[in-house]
Structure 1
């Protein structure tokens, strides 16, 4: 993650600030830590200073929330009136997605593929939760064309109807608890 920051106020030159980023995933109301990073921010001189944080992941699950904590006045002698200003916060580098292992990938099938009708059946009889996972379909330009919530009751099969979309190549992504499962789909 990168961002720009500056400390302002009468005692900012001798004060400190801190930032913490926490990535979590919530399942059935229980929040699980996926990754985090924190840093003490040195005083700035005049304008904004570029700051970076390297996120440390403790899980391969996909996060669904990010929380950023920021604090000013962290020095041994806190200076009244110090303010921390943040700008242009962005996540850079490697994507957050983690692909499921090859054994799990092999348990998922999508057929027929290619599909002349644009209708597919997603199947995972030995691991029903895979086919029931939340899914996203992207077009060849990376634009999201469909998003579905997880099936309430995993059955091991799921129908996917892309018949209203133009002929072409699409990317199906299922976000299971074990990681992302990705398939290329062809509607012809």
Structure 2
């Protein structure tokens, strides 16, 4: 017996809704274990209408992996444009932006980190280029801090470690956890800024 197609429901931003619901499925079940029929049921659309919005399952994976990226860059640019912030202040604000972005897009980031290697080179290159651009912003702020005498000189590889500390929180961060995203960012930055300023632990 063939089940009836789900009833279509019009939403203000249907594509974003589909991405968000598919992200939850991919994060919970894995990309390969999630079929188009699973997505169709979750969003209340028939297969034809669903494909109209997503193009292909791989394109949907790519778009899920980009969820929150535009907001991340926009909010980070807002931090950089604040003339009241020194390099340390910018890093702390950028850390908060990043942790809140991860928190708000946890399913999508889980999918990105876990499934990025499943994408074709075309999509993977685009994502790697965007992530590299974001990393370059952090390198620039640290370089500004070194030039201003705020920070001790450090190997540029430190930026990968700093971002890794934030990004891989996707493995353990929880909704309504003990610490808010802002509080987590501040904990991270207390350690990071002490290191950048050349502080040594007390005996």
TM-score, normalised on structure 1?
0.28
TM-score normalised to structure 2 length:
0.27
Higher Cα Rg, which structure: 1
Q: Which has the higher strand share?
A: 1
